[in-house]
Amino acid sequence: MRQSNTYILIFTAAMTVVVGGLLSLASQALGPAQKKSIELDTKSAILASVMDLESMNLKGEQVLNLYDERIKSLVVDINGEVIETDEDGEPIVAENVNIAKNYKMDPDNRMFPVFRYMNESDTTKIDAYILPVYGAGLWNAIYGYVALDNQFEEIVGVSYGHVQETPGLGARIATDEIQSRYEGKKIFDDSGELVSVTMVKGEGNAGLDEHHVDGMSGATLTGRGVNDMLENYFSYYESYMKKTAGGSSAATASLQ
Amino acid sequence: MSTETLENENQQVIEAPKEEFLSKRRKRLITDPLNEDNPITVQVLGICSALAITVQMEPTLIMSIAVVFVIVFANLIISLMRNLIPNRVRIIVQLAVIATLVTLVSEVLKAYSYEMYKILGAFVGLIITNCIVMGRLEAFAMGNKPYDSLLDGLGSGFGYAWIILVVAFFRELFGSGSVFGFKVFEAVGLNNFATNGLMVDSIGAFMVLGILIWVQRSKTGYVEH
C-alpha cells in the first residue's frame, strides 16, 4: 500500500500543498517586517555617508525619524531634469528607485535619485547632496552613497557596501578606514572639468593630490571597480550638478 | 535453557517502552556527536559552511542557531512521518522538509535581523545542502522514534556548532583582533597588534580546523581506516 503509485502521488501532492501553504503564510506574515528592515537598511546607508550613525547609537525608529527630518529626496534624469512621475503617471519615490535594476538600463533611460541633506537649524538650506553609486567589484556588485557639499566640489563622506568582495582585502571598502580617505577630495579640477576621485594602486602612497586616494594593498581590482563606479555616476549626475550649483541652492530646496 | 532466553527476550520487549527519560543510551545520542562522532572533525561533513561563515563570531553564532533549529525540527518531523513516507520518494520528502525549515529561518532573519541576513544570506540557504542535516535524517530519523531523533538532532547540531564557534573564535581573534566585535588586543593595551590576513581567508579556517582535528584525535585516539 505504502509503495503503490497512487499512494506516492497523493502523498507528494498533499506534502506540496502543506509545505507551499506554510511558506506563503510565513511570507505574508513576515512581509511588512521585511519591508521595514530593507527601508531601514537603505536609509541608514544614505545617512551613514554624512554622519557616523554607529557612534550615535540610534535604534531603528530613531534612524527613520532622523531621515524624515533631514533628508529631502528627488529624482532626476540624465539631463538633470527633475522627474516626478513615471510612464504610468505614478509618482516616483526616490527611496524606492532600484539602483541595481537601473544599472542594467541605458543611462539615458535611467532614474537618478538625489538625496538632499538639509541643514539642521535652517531646513531650507542644503548641507550636502547624497548620490547613490553602483558598479562591479572583483567578484560581484559594489554599491554605496557619496555625499558632496552643496556646491558639488568636495566629497563630504562616502559609505560603500559590497556583495562578496574578498574579506580582509576588497571587503575593506566597507570600513571607515578606507571611506574616510575620500573626505575632502575634489571631483572637479580648477577649470571645472569633471575628473572624479581615483584610488591609486598599492597602499601607503604619500603626497596624493586632491583627486586621488590611497589604495588597498592586495585589492587593486576592487579599487578599480570603485574608481569606475565613481567616475560613471559623477558623469551621470554632471548635468544636474552644473545646473544646481549655478543657481541658489535655497531656491531649489523650497520647490519641494 | 531455550525457554529461559525466550522469556528474557520477552521481558526486554516489555521493558523497552519504560526507558528512562534520559537513559544512558539517550545521553550518548547527545554526547557522541560532540566529540567521538563529531560531524565536522570525525565525519568531516559540513566543511563548506565551516569555512565560509567563520570569519567572525556573531554570524557564526547565528548560523549555529539556524543549523541546530533546522536539524532538530527536521529530525523530529521526519521521525514523526517515518511510517507514512513512501520509500521511493523519501529523499525528496526529506529535502522538502529541510528546505521549508531553512526558508523559514531565512525569512525570519530577513525580517528581524537584516544585517545578519546580508552577511549570511547565501549560506543560510546552503544549510539545505549541508550533508549533516540530510545525513541525520537518512541515517537516524527514518528508523527511530521522535524523541530519540530529537536528541540525535540536538547532539549533531551542537557538535557542529561548537566546532565552528571555536574556529570562528580563533579566526576573529587573530584575523581581526577581536571577539564578537570587541577589540581584545586594544583592551589589554596592545594597540598595534598585527592581525593575520590568512585568518580572514578560508585558508585560516582550514588551518584552525586541521589543528583542532589533530588535537582531538591525539586525545581520543581515533584513526581513520
Question: For residue range B88-131, what is the model confidence (pLDDT) as tens digits?
Answer: 888 999 999 999 999 999 899 888 888 888 777 777 887 887 88
Eight-state DSSP code of residue B106: H
pLDDT at A251 exceeding the cut of 50: no
Residue A75: φ, ψ to 5°: -125, 135
- Residues of chain A with pLDDT > 70: what percent? 95
At A254, the pLDDT band (50, 70, 90 cuts) reads very low
A12–B contact, CB cutoff 8 A: yes
Ordered DSSP codes for A115-155: EEEE-SS-TTSEEEEEEEEEEE-SSSEEEEEEEEETTS-BE
Contact between B100 and A30 using a beta-carbon 8 Å cutoff: no
Write the pLDDT tens digit of every residue in A159-172.
998 887 876 788 88
pLDDT at B7 exceeding the cut of 80: no
What is the pLDDT averaged over residues A23-47? 90
* Nearest residue on chain B to A19, alpha-carbon basis: B100
Which of B100, B111, B115 shows the shortest C-beta gap to A34?
Answer: B111
Query: Which residues lie below 8 Å from residue A199, measured CB to CB, with a gap of 6+?
Result: A212, A213, A214, A215, A216, A223, A224, A226, A227
Write the pLDDT tens digit of every residue in A7-24.
999 999 999 999 999 999
Which of B84, B111, B197 shows the shortest C-beta gap to A33?
Answer: B111
Residues 3-62 of B with CB under 8 A from A: 55
Which of A15, A30, A34 shows the shortest C-beta gap to B96?
Answer: A15
At A255, the pLDDT band (50, 70, 90 cuts) reads very low
Task: Please say whether the beta carbons of A158 and A147 come within 8 A.
Answer: yes
- For residue B98, the model assigns a pLDDT of 92
Which of A38, A41, A168 shows the shortest C-beta gap to B200?
Answer: A168
B85–A contact, CB cutoff 8 A: yes
Chain B residues in contact with A168 (beta carbon < 8 A)? 175, 197, 200-201
Q: Which of B81, B104, B107 to mutate to test the interface with A (most CBs of A within 10 A)?
A: B107
At A253, the pLDDT band (50, 70, 90 cuts) reads very low
- Residues of chain A with pLDDT > 90: what percent? 22
* Block residue for cell numbers 531601514: A40
Q: Which of B110, B116, B172, B195 to mutate to test the interface with A (most CBs of A within 10 A)?
A: B110
d(CA B67, CA B70): 5
- pLDDT averaged over every residue in chain A: 85
| A256: its cell numbers | 519641494
Task: Please say whether the beta carbons of B1 and B122 come within 8 A.
Answer: no
More confident residue, A121 or A256: A121
Least Cα distance to A73 among A144, A149, A128 occurs for: A128
- For residue A256, the model assigns a pLDDT of 40
Write the pLDDT tens digit of every residue in B137-150.
888 888 888 998 99
* CA geometry: angle A151, A154, A155, nearest 5 deg: 120
Write the pLDDT tens digit of every residue in A73-98.
888 888 888 888 777 777 888 888 88
pLDDT at B14 exceeding the cut of 70: no
- For residue B18, the model assigns a pLDDT of 61
Distance from CA of A37 to the nearest CA of B (A): 6
- For residue A231, the model assigns a pLDDT of 92
A96–B contact, CB cutoff 8 A: no
Write the pLDDT tens digit of every residue in A96-117.
888 888 888 888 888 889 998 8
B84–A contact, CB cutoff 8 A: yes
Which of B55, B92, B108 shows the shortest C-beta gap to A30?
Answer: B108
What is the pLDDT averaged over residues A20-42? 91
What is the pLDDT averaged over residues A197-210? 86
- For residue A1, the model assigns a pLDDT of 59
Q: A182 forms bridges with which residues in the sheet?
A: none
pLDDT at A192 exceeding the cut of 60: yes
Length of chain A: 256
- pLDDT averaged over every residue in chain B: 82
Which of A187-191, A192-196, B22-26 is least confident?
Answer: B22-26
- For residue B19, the model assigns a pLDDT of 67
| Global ipTM | 0.71
Distance from CA of A8 to the nearest CA of B (A): 6
- For residue B3, the model assigns a pLDDT of 47
At A246, the pLDDT band (50, 70, 90 cuts) reads low
* Block residue for cell numbers 523530529: B76
Task: Please say whether the beta carbons of B76 and B153 come within 8 A.
Answer: yes
A22–B contact, CB cutoff 8 A: yes
Which of A11, A22, A166 shows the shortest C-beta gap to B100?
Answer: A22
More confident residue, A16 or B222: A16
* Nearest residue on chain B to A33, alpha-carbon basis: B111
At A52, the pLDDT band (50, 70, 90 cuts) reads confident
- For residue A250, the model assigns a pLDDT of 42
* Nearest residue on chain B to A21, alpha-carbon basis: B100
A175–B contact, CB cutoff 8 A: no
Residue A186: φ, ψ to 5°: -110, 145
Residues 87-146 of B with CB under 8 A from A: 87-89, 92-93, 96-97, 100, 103-104, 107-108, 110-112, 114-115, 117-118
At A227, the pLDDT band (50, 70, 90 cuts) reads very high
